[in-house]
Chains A and B, each alone.
Chain A
């Protein structure tokens, strides 16, 4: 049972927009801690995709965007492409646990 809750899967056709949600609580996202997102392509290590709620590292396409409100955060992928098929994980800090926490991950499938 992950501290942050994500849907197990989302899917969309090429070119569509999909949203991955991440729900936390008052001790993590709701406490104002940053939310970060990681992309894990099949058989590879996770890669930082979004940091500080909505910032993209250099090299990440602007098709990926992040937002946060209250105790939840979201990752949006617009103009979905076949190469976006991967697992996506949200992550924040939890003040009660005094450590980083992750969501269970969401598998994005391109139909």
Chain B
């Protein structure tokens, strides 16, 4: 069965950086677009980025453009999110999800807290 497992979250100071990883299994990773979606505490869901199956095309929400970078390693079935210049408002649970406009499988999420 499809499994997505995020890691790399934690506590970071404003202006700091963090790299999230999502390990995928149970499907042909290189066939699918992948996305990162976040949920601030007690709030709704926000799509922040997606990447084409080949890795050749990436999109970002305005809220993270220029600060976050999505990437993937297809041979290692892994998805990444490099987060720089972190702000308090980036505090959220970060989910990786399969797909780009329909998210049919989600990981359990990893919590990122940006605080001094």
Contacts and interface: CB of A to CB of B under 8 A. Distances in A.
Given A98-B59, A99-B59, A99-B61, A46 B104 contact: no
A59 to B, nearest CB: 12
Nearest to A4: B44
Contact of B95 (A45, A51, A104, A105): A45
Contacts of A99: 47, 50, 59-61
Main secondary structure of the interface of B (DSSP, over half): loop
A45 B100 contact: no
Nearest to A87: B44
B25 to A, nearest CB: 16
Interface string A92-105: 01000111111111
Contact of B100 (A2, A33, A46, A100): A100
Given A99-B59, A102-B44, A102-B45, A57 B104 contact: yes
A36 interface: yes
A33 to B, nearest CB: 8
Interface residues of B, number: 22
Q: How large is the interface on A (under 10, 10 to 19, 20 to 34, 35 or more residues)?
A: 20 to 34
A101 B104 contact: no
Contacts of B56: none
A104 B44 contact: yes
A34 B47 contact: no
B101 A34 contact: yes
A46 B106 CA distance: 7
Looking at A57, A89, A97, A102, which has the most chain B CB atoms within 10 Å of its CB?
A: A102
B103 interface: yes
Interface string A36-54: 1010000011111001100
